[in-house]
Amino acid sequence: MKFGLNLFLTTCLVLSGGYINPSHAEDAPSAAIEAVAEEPTLETTVEATVEDIADTVEETVESVSESVDELEAIADETTAPQTASEDEVKLMPAVAMHGDIKYLTDFKHFDYVNPDAPKGGKLRQHEIGGFDSLNPFIVKGSKADGVNFLGASLLYGALMTQSADEPFTMYGYIAKGIKMPKDRSWVGFVIRDEAKWHDGTPITAADVKYTFEQMLEHGMPFFKAYYGDVDQVEILSDKEIKFTFKHSLNAELPLILSQLTIIPKHYWEREENDISKTNLTPPLGSGPYRVKSVDAGRSISYERVKDWWAKDIPINVGRYNFDEIQYDYYKDSNVALEAFLAGEYDVRLENSSLQWQNGYDSPALKQGKIIKGEFHHERPAGMQAFIYNIRRDVFKDIKVREAIAYAFDFEWSNKQYAFGAYKRNQSYFENSELAAHDLPDAREIAFLEKYRGRIPDSVFTEVYKAPETDGSGNNRDNLRKAKMILKEAGYVLGKDKVVHNPKTGVKLEFEILGVSPLFERWTLPFIKNLDRIGIKANFRIIDPAQYQNRVSSFDYDMIIGTIAQSESPGNEQRDFWNSAKADMQGSRNYIGVKDPVIDEIIEEIIQAPTREDLVARTRSLDRILLANHYVIPQWYLDTWRIAYWHTLGFPEGLSPQTPGFTDLWWAKDGGAE
């Protein structure tokens, strides 16, 4: 599982899911649990409020582990694995989830960096909104950019860091290596002798244990679910630590433990510091930067640590090149664009086709001072969609969900509002090899066969394809199809011109909840088409705080959001689809999925022994989700639209997973004019 930059950072997990690539999480904006969509940019997040839901979270985190407990019981009934001792397991500088690592022991730097990038200058970036905390580990508060709750960031180091050109491979950072037996029943880390905090204090195994304990006690509820299979933590020496697991069924656990962001025990144990509270006091870190200045809610600046202990480690060569990195916050996206054109900040990742097409006409662009570029990427797009809340009676019927999808005319809207730039989502794992774009192969059929009769028959014989039009705006054929599906399901048009089911009394009326008026142009034509077939819908926009609370408590009929994914799905899938999460306020099971088959397949994905098995099992999950019509797919983009001032440089071959503004780019001739 991974975490990424501001296209898809969606999580309290990561988990926006997916998976956030911890090695580049510093590119991501503030976020916790969120439903975020592309085009236009939805800059706000959907954070759970601890004050209201803490008790529910605590109770449900325990229930999340029920499926794992069942697996433990099964494991107890079978022969216990013969676990190797620490002395029998060699120290490895890197570990892959499946298969071989790309960069061997003697590698000099990652392929996607410029090892000769000059150091110096200043990078200025922007964010929409504000911040009130430098503590990213708790749900309370809105964290500033540059600090993250998982993985490496500008301020903090992690045990290991992920390469940005492999599915899921971790390389030593604070830890010089990892110990792990073949059955992955425990994992150990050996801390580098040179690893130290910015005050010069060495980083020790005690810091690692303290971090783990504090995250479980005071951190986001996510940590308890994410690391719930850890049974024991032992300090073996000043520089070595061991995590023993409850069972050996969670093959991903050693790697996700290596993502742990380490905090300094000696600093947080001081009376004046409290890891459970928000604060704006610059904390002690171990990363490439320290906090230089803070203007609460408006700006934060980081300065490069010149004698940084990790600057010559191969994973960091050619990275973190700016002497200073500054984030300025804006309340309005249009104002932020004008500020960019005026030279107030240096680089911009554009998510709006309309702005990309028409918003950059300026003297600076004509003079070549601003450069626009589109860069192909291989980042999994996940599923951006109109998301049904099937907890509501109106959407419990799969036929209703299928019929409503025929009212969304993507082809016409794409042409009208996005200049034809977008591609239609046809998978929950879009833009990756995990997407089920073809009929199931022999490996998938063999896997799915045991579920036959418990899943839709179409999973075996059909490839999902979202309803399609000719883009003319004449959607009669699809609307006719929708009416036919509803009629066959027993729905009729009432005297009030609203379709209803006489047997159940369910009327097809619902609300689409939103947080940005920019989505109106995509949503209103959809609503108009629904009205033509007797379905009444309205689009309601509310303020971000209210939206956060309603989404975290599942108080909506339909929302617009992205369920972000990675190249290596795993434990985070429980948060998206597991039955125990359906009633857990603040979880990312936005849909309300409760399906025993899906629960089983999630565990099969987590336990996949090979990459080939992972792909087959994930595609199987994809097929079942699609066949159940839980969402109306929207669109995705397989390019980054980047506008930047000519004073910046970047590697010829950008990473396929992240543009890496803060760690891969550099300033030319001192930077900004």
pLDDT in tens, 180-225: 999 999 999 999 999 999 999 999 999 999 999 999 999 987 788 7
Torsional class of 166: left (φ above 0), alpha (ψ -120 to 50), beta (otherwise): beta
The string over 275-285, giving b where at least 16 C-beta atoms fall within 10 Å of a residue's C-beta and e elsewhere, is beeeebebbbb
Q: Is 515 part of a structural domain of the chain?
A: yes
Specify the pLDDT at position 399: 98
Average pLDDT over residues 402-422: 96
Specify the pLDDT at position 48: 32
- CATH code, 394: 3.10.105.10
3-state DSSP assignment of residue 292: strand
Q: Is 553 part of a structural domain of the chain?
A: yes
Q: Is 179 part of a structural domain of the chain?
A: no
Split into its structural domains, the chain has a count of 1
Specify the pLDDT at position 14: 30
Q: Is 73 part of a structural domain of the chain?
A: no
Q: Is 442 part of a structural domain of the chain?
A: yes
Average pLDDT over residues 375-397: 95
Specify the pLDDT at position 100: 93
Average pLDDT over residues 274-282: 96
Structure confidence at residue 235 as a pLDDT band (50, 70, 90): very high
Q: Is 528 part of a structural domain of the chain?
A: yes
| Residue range 80-126, pLDDT digits in tens | 445 566 668 999 999 999 989 999 999 999 999 999 999 999 999 99
| Residue range 4-43, pLDDT digits in tens | 323 233 333 332 333 333 333 333 332 222 334 445 433 3
| Residue range 35-74, pLDDT digits in tens | 344 454 333 333 333 333 333 333 333 343 444 444 444 4
3-state DSSP assignment of residue 242: strand
Specify the pLDDT at position 96: 94
Specify the pLDDT at position 491: 98
**pLDDT at residue 259 greater than cutoff 70:** yes
Cβ neighbours of 503 (radius 10 Å): 8
pTM: 0.80
What are all long-range contacts of 303-311, with beta carbons under 8 Å and residues at least 24 apart?
304/119, 305/198, 309/194, 309/195, 309/196, 310/157, 310/173, 310/174, 310/194, 310/195, 310/286
Residue 625: give the domain boundaries: 384-634
**What's the distance, Cα to Cα, between the start and end of the chain in Å?**
40
**Residue 199 Cα distances to 159, 240, 308, angstroms:** 19, 22, 11
Q: Is 642 part of a structural domain of the chain?
A: no
Specify the pLDDT at position 17: 31
Specify the pLDDT at position 262: 98
The residues, ordered by sequence, that sit 6+ positions from 125 with a Cβ below 8 Å of its Cβ are: 145, 325, 326, 327, 328, 345, 346, 347, 661, 662
**Residue 384 Cα distances to 10, 22, 85, 353, angstroms:** 12, 22, 46, 16
Q: Of 131, 408, 422, give the one whose Cα is nearest residue 294.
A: 131
CA 66 to chain CA centroid, nearest Å: 24
| Residue range 604-613, pLDDT digits in tens | 999 999 999 9
Q: Is 518 part of a structural domain of the chain?
A: yes
Alpha carbon distance 3, 9 (integer Å)? 6
